[in-house]
Amino acid sequence: MQSIQLQNDSLVEIATFLVRRWSEKDKMIVEISDKVETKTRLKENKVILTPLEKRIGNNFQKYRQFRTSLWYEAMRIKHCKKILSDDHAFGFILNTLETQRVEQLGRKIWKGMDEEIIFNYAYMLVSRPQLHTVYGKARIVEAFYQYFMFGAIKGEIQSNNFERIKKATALGKKVVGKAIEEERDTEWLEKHVGEIVKILDIDSLLTIPVSLPFMKAGMALTEEELRRVLKVISKNKEGDFGSVDTNAILRGDNVYDEYRVLLDENKKTENKGLAPEPIGIQTPTTKNVDETVIYDLSLINGLKIKFKEWRSGWKEEHLRSGDEFDEENYIEGYEPFFTDVKKSIKTKIVILLDHSSSIASDALEYKKATLALCEVLSFLKVKFAVYAFSTQNRTVVCWSIKPDNIKWNNVTAKRLAHVVANGSTPLAEVYDKMFPVLQAKRPDIFLTLTDGEPSDPDAVRTMIKSFKGLGINMVALGLGPNTLRATTIADNLRHLGYEKTMAVSRLNDIPNKVMSILEA
């Protein structure tokens, strides 16, 4: 799997999604260029990244470095007021201090990044130049960078200069710590750069030669070599990160699933056209689609917390008899015993989303709610597929948002974001297009979300009977602007032959309603 090369198009898509989510800036764009090192241009809302092929290691290791460098740029976007050029000593030192400040601020929010940061540090150290290859006063600046960032230097330096470097490093760490403690910003840090410049006895306008952190591009470290460097980094960074598991860092389990999804999507893109699409079903484009607008993180996180016990597979229930006696429940007149009940979601579900014109005014909130549903289903490892329908160029189109054999990810979110609500509700025609797929897949539940009555009720009844004949449980969720209208829609749907119908007047209730079906 790791021999497959990720295309830049795939990398730009995931990088754009991640940088916007990490930085909370929806207008950021990402560009990959082999002409410059990774940098951010705040005024242009642009991040420029060095491509994978100029990094060290195997393909997965390169991706991990790429991803972590992107995280640092996202933290700069979020926390820095300015980013100076590295071409001169003053800007180089300020950016070095800012790297540490934004790292510490970012780790408070993104706690899962610690292993990736340590992993990235190992490759950063390996790729820095040996001091004897850097000439003049720039050698002192490079030595300061290495000692400040890694707690070690590569090569030898005169003892008097080393004393300056240690003193400047101590001041730099003190200033960064104070900036975080007192919630100071870039401009405050900038005022202290001159002190470090003075300690190092250099000119603030000293030209810093372009360092070549990718000078050994393509070379993979052996596991033993990488482990050795990781031990050095782990020891030197123990004061910041505490004790770390180098074996876990080497594996990179937290990132591997994401990487594997990228490889799968990349392979499908390369083979596009070789495998036939299901007749009558189209896949939405993901180019130039901003999926971050349909992410409601508070809704998603709230749902994940609410259904967290489902993920563990166990739920505490009160019963007439059980493992332990609950005195408070007994006094209050409720079932006095409680026991742990094993929960398992083995139901396979297909979801069809109505994107007719009647949903257009609420399309954004509708997509936020349905995306949150998909996020929690993925979180719970439920096997599910998502389709939508709308009218395009006067023709009804059934869109494949997420087949059941791929994971929910930013690509599938982009597909959902792409679909434009338009047209009527030709439900029978859509069902007919989907019949071959469901006949082959045979899900347990086929759930339709709609806010209107179908164009041809009799034809819908016929199709529902056909799906029932396959052993599929047909469920419908009626969406309405208020409780009365939603209930009326649900009642009308019941007469079409659905085995269960529900009503929703608040779009944010959609995930809970759907989860109640799986719980039943």
In a domain, 169, yes or no: yes
Under DSSP, the state recorded for 214 is T
What is the C-alpha separation between 430 and 518, in angstroms, rounded? 24
Residue 321 is predicted with a pLDDT of 56
Q: For residue 117, give Cα distances in angstroms to 20, 56, 108, 241, 447.
A: 19, 16, 13, 10, 42
Classify 72 as helix, strand or coil.
Answer: helix
In a domain, 437, yes or no: yes
Under DSSP, the state recorded for 398 is E
Residue 261 is predicted with a pLDDT of 75
Question: For residue 175, is it left (φ>0), alpha (ψ between -120 and 50) or beta?
Answer: alpha
What is the C-alpha separation between 122 and 124, in angstroms, rounded? 5
User: In degrees rounded to 5, what are phi and psi of residue 326?
Assistant: -110, 105
What is the C-alpha separation between 138 and 144, in angstroms, rounded? 10
In a domain, 19, yes or no: no
Are 351 and 487 in the same domain?
Answer: yes
Strand partners for 450? 478
Are 322 and 358 in the same domain?
Answer: no
Q: How many domains does the structure of the chain reveal?
A: 3
* Whether 259 contacts 11, CB under 8 Å: no
What is the C-alpha separation between 46 and 77, in angstroms, rounded? 10
| Sheet containing strand 314-319, strands side by side | 314-319, 337-342, 324-325
Are 447 and 514 in the same domain?
Answer: yes
User: In degrees rounded to 5, what are phi and psi of residue 345?
Assistant: -110, 100
Residue 153 is predicted with a pLDDT of 92
Q: Using 70 as the pLDDT threshold, list the residues of the chain that sit under it.
A: 1-9, 210-220, 265-280, 309-346, 520
Are 328 and 352 in the same domain?
Answer: no
Are 335 and 217 in the same domain?
Answer: no
Are 366 and 456 in the same domain?
Answer: yes
Helix axis angle, 253-270 to 114-127, nearest 10°: 80
Are 330 and 416 in the same domain?
Answer: no
The H-assigned helical ranges of 54-185 are 59-79, 89-109, 114-127, 138-150, 159-181
Are 69 and 82 in the same domain?
Answer: yes
Of the CA atoms within 13 Å of residue 109, those in its CB half-sphere come to 13
Are 323 and 365 in the same domain?
Answer: no
In a domain, 274, yes or no: no
Strand partners for 338? 318, 324
Residue 266 is predicted with a pLDDT of 66
Q: Which two tokens stand for residue 495?
A: 């007469």
Residue 274 is predicted with a pLDDT of 37
In a domain, 36, yes or no: no
Are 423 and 407 in the same domain?
Answer: yes
Are 377 and 495 in the same domain?
Answer: yes
- Domain of 352, CATH number, reads 3.40.50.410
This prediction's pTM? 0.56
Residue 355 is predicted with a pLDDT of 92
In a domain, 393, yes or no: yes
What is the C-alpha separation between 513 and 56, in angstroms, rounded? 48
Three-class DSSP labels, 253-295: HHHHHHHHHHHHHHHHHHCCCCCCCCCCEECCCCCCCCHHHHC
Q: Identify the CA nearest to 136 among candidates 194, 201, 79.
A: 201
Q: How far apart are the first and last CA of the chain?
A: 40
In a domain, 305, yes or no: no
In a domain, 471, yes or no: yes
Residue 10 is predicted with a pLDDT of 74
Are 450 and 497 in the same domain?
Answer: yes
What is the C-alpha separation between 145 and 40, in angstroms, rounded? 20
Q: Identify the CA nearest to 355 among candidates 363, 344, 347.
A: 363
Considering only the C-alpha atoms of the chain, give the largest distance between any 2 of them, rounded to a whole number of Å.
91
Q: Which two tokens stand for residue 244?
A: 């770390």
Q: What's the domain range around 366?
A: 291-296+345-519
Residue 220 is predicted with a pLDDT of 60
Instruction: Output Rg (C-alpha) for the chain, integer angstroms.
Output: 28
